[in-house]
Amino acid sequence: MDLDADRGGKHRVASSFKFGFQGIASAAARERNMQIHIVISVLVLVAGLVFSISKYEWITILLCIGGMIALEMLNTAIERTVDMYTKEFHPLAKQAKDIAAGAVLIFAIISVIIGLIIFIPRILALVN
């Protein structure tokens, strides 16, 4: 399909970006965990600048930050969907929410380990 021939194509693409940015803004404004991730991300970015980390370390850090924020947003979307479906306790609803939260936790732990691998040697060199 020729994108230029699709008159509404540009509008749909613009709307997709608009909705995506609205989702990011909504999560950042309403979700405590997202706010925590954003604060920690800013601190890590500042630390990266202060310690002049390498290009590959920047790539790794940015992947961790982007992955963490995206995964937190997916977790929130799953929680919202489950809550919309049922307010009553249901074992499958709990399981869906717990599994999504577990995925976030795993990525957070791995991201912290990566951060420690990158920054601990630099911090120790600064102290010694």
Q: Which residues form the catalytic set?
A: 72
- Cα 47 to chain centroid distance, Å, stands at 19
Please give the Cα distance from 42 to 75 (Å, whole number): 21
CA angle 22, 27, 29 (to 5 degrees): 95
What would you report as the CA-atom Rg of the chain, rounded to the nearest whole angstrom? 19
Q: 14 in the Ramachandran plot: left (φ > 0), alpha (ψ -120 to 50) or beta?
A: alpha
Q: Which residues contact 57 (CB under 8 A, 6 or more apart)?
A: 48, 118
